A = this chain, B = another copy of it.
Amino acid sequence: MSEIKHLFHIAAPREKVYEALTTIKGLSGWWTTQATGECKQGGVIQFRFGSLGNDMKVISMKKDEWVQWECIAGPEDWVGTRLTFQLNNCEGKTRVRFEHAGWKNANDFFAGCTFTWGRYMESLRRLCQTGKGEAFGSEGYRQ
């Protein structure tokens, strides 16, 4: 099993980052404008990118500390994988540990997702710091 891990810091309070990860408004601001569904524990969130997309089930969450999803539909390599966002205070910033775990192979798609997750983590950072993210489908999305 392989996992993608990104660690980074956001100059914004933990509460703000948690909100960006656990509300449709927040998720629409940094990942894709086409996000719908239920962000509570046990709920399913649909993320769409034009004709592509994935469904995430919220399997664990603790306010201002973490949220964890399981991918229940989407790219074959993603189904059954788990995604965790863990938040800590760190020298006046919020430290984010993002992990996408349970990959069967560290293949080209894995390397492509490592890059793309980095772009979206940067989008999350910008949303929390400046109010403007770079979600798929938004004005700020970088071609």
A residues neighboring B (CB under 8 Å): 4-8, 97, 106, 108, 110-112, 114-119, 121-122, 126, 142
Contacts and interface: CB of A to CB of B under 8 A. Distances in A.
Given A6-B114, A114-B5, A122 B119 contact: yes
B118 A122 contact: yes
B118 A6 contact: yes
Secondary structure type dominating chain A contacts = helix
Oligomer: number of copies: 2
Given A114-B114, A118-B115, A118-B122, A108 B6 contact: no
Contact of A118 (B106, B110, B114, B126): B114
A1 to B, nearest CB: 12
A6 B115 contact: yes
